[in-house]
Amino acid sequence: MLKISAKPSLPVWFIFGKKFGEYSLDMLLAFGKERIDVLLAFSSANITKENIDFHKKLENPLGLMALIVAAAVANDAYFMNWLLETEGDLFIALFNSSDLGSKIAILEAIFGELIIGAENIAQKMGISIEKLISEVQAVLSFLTRRHRSSITFDALMKSLTAARFIRAYKLIKFNRGIIIGGWVIAPLSEFFHFSKSYYQEMLRKRIQILQEKMKKSPNYEAYRAFGEELINYWRGKKVTIQRYTEKHSKIPTRGKLWEKTEFFPPCSRILYDQFIATGYLSHNERLQLGLFLKALGMPLEEQLKFWYNAVDNVGLSWEKFLKKGGYYIRHIYGLEGSRKDYRPPKCETIIAKYFCPFAKLNFSELKEKLRAINPKISASAFDKIQKYVISREPRKACAQFLMSMIRGMGFQYSISIISHPLQFVRILYRYARGGKYDSKRTPKNV
């Protein structure tokens, strides 16, 4: 049996600080499968408020508890990443649809004690309201400009909120507040904005704590079997719902697109530039870039010559390289080993197992890399990208960067999420050709 905790003011769907009794693994298994079904539907469909039955299933926290158990007993980075990202999206959707009282209760569960209102904060700090305004003037001025069309300075003052630094340090890290006497002070809207990231952290910590607890349990094997069944169910459903489409899987046959790095997505472009500059990439990075170049149509012989320039091949004859590194390259072309026609990983897999700059780099390093790719990128585009990096939505951050490149060409274009590196290439290539798709001149599936 598993015990799941309750603060009356918290909504039913919010699992932290609530207790719901004890449930057998068989009951949790059913809840977990239902949760997987609705999460996959939630992430791929526009769920309306009128769909009451669906929302009741979404708000049931027992399914989430089942998935937390599965993640704790399984060593599956892909499942973990999917769980954190999708549950984070669901959290913010449910959070945004909650009333203000519920939102405050959730924020207190996440950030601990909150003090709301400039006068209340000044009293808590033992300083005058004038002194407080002087201290926070810079950040308030910045936020007032950022929300110029929708919020006034007076409204920001009324919504000014303080939380302990140890619980809200990210607001300082990303220049969204100031710190006074161990308290982070920022408008309430900024705490709303960071809530998803902190919620995902709480989920990750819950999984890690449960993982250590499960290892010591005499029922560990039963928990492992439970976790394997749920994850296998998820894998089967995910393959059915999110199968590769033909446009993302076939190898281009026209043009030398692999030579046009200006069309590469940031993940591939950064790896490509790094290899050209240093001659070195890790094994997984080589695999990621190699599969991408293959998908763009790079012939086997050209890819062999490309990787021969690696620093670990210095002093190695071409013949010896063909026997050593050549085997691995021929393998991804389906000419060795199992002779499988390997395809480039989609974004979810890259985020979980490979290199996604929006998920792996700190923002200052990311900003430098993105500016090198697109020198014309605007400050407002960086603000939007940073927002998605903070909330751990790398595919949305990548979409924002793509839009910045297309708008730099003089076009208006909107896309909410990037799902595959070739999707990025195909869209950018089309707009570089004037925004039109020419099937006779455009490489297949790009």
Segment 404-437, tens digit of pLDDT? 999 888 888 888 899 999 999 999 988 887 755 4
> Average pLDDT per run of 10 along the chain, which is 446 residues long?
50 77 84 89 58 63 90 86 86 85 92 92 88 75 49 73 93 84 89 90 93 89 92 80 42 66 94 88 92 91 87 79 82 78 88 92 92 92 92 92 90 89 92 60 45
Strands 160-164 and 178-180: unpaired
Q: Cα–Cα distance between 407 and 409 in angstroms, integer? A: 5
pTM above 0.75, yes or no: no
Domain ranges of the chain: 2-98+201-241, 101-195, 266-332
How many angstroms separate the Cα of 185 from the Cα of each of 193, 194, 317? 14, 13, 62
The CA-CA-CA angle for residues 98, 201, 15, to 5°, reads: 45
Q: Cα–Cα distance between 341 and 332 in angstroms, integer? A: 7
How many angstroms separate the Cα of 445 from the Cα of each of 147, 182, 272, 429, 438? 40, 54, 21, 11, 11
Q: Cα–Cα distance between 160 and 188 in angstroms, integer? A: 6
Q: Cα–Cα distance between 19 and 6 in angstroms, integer? A: 5
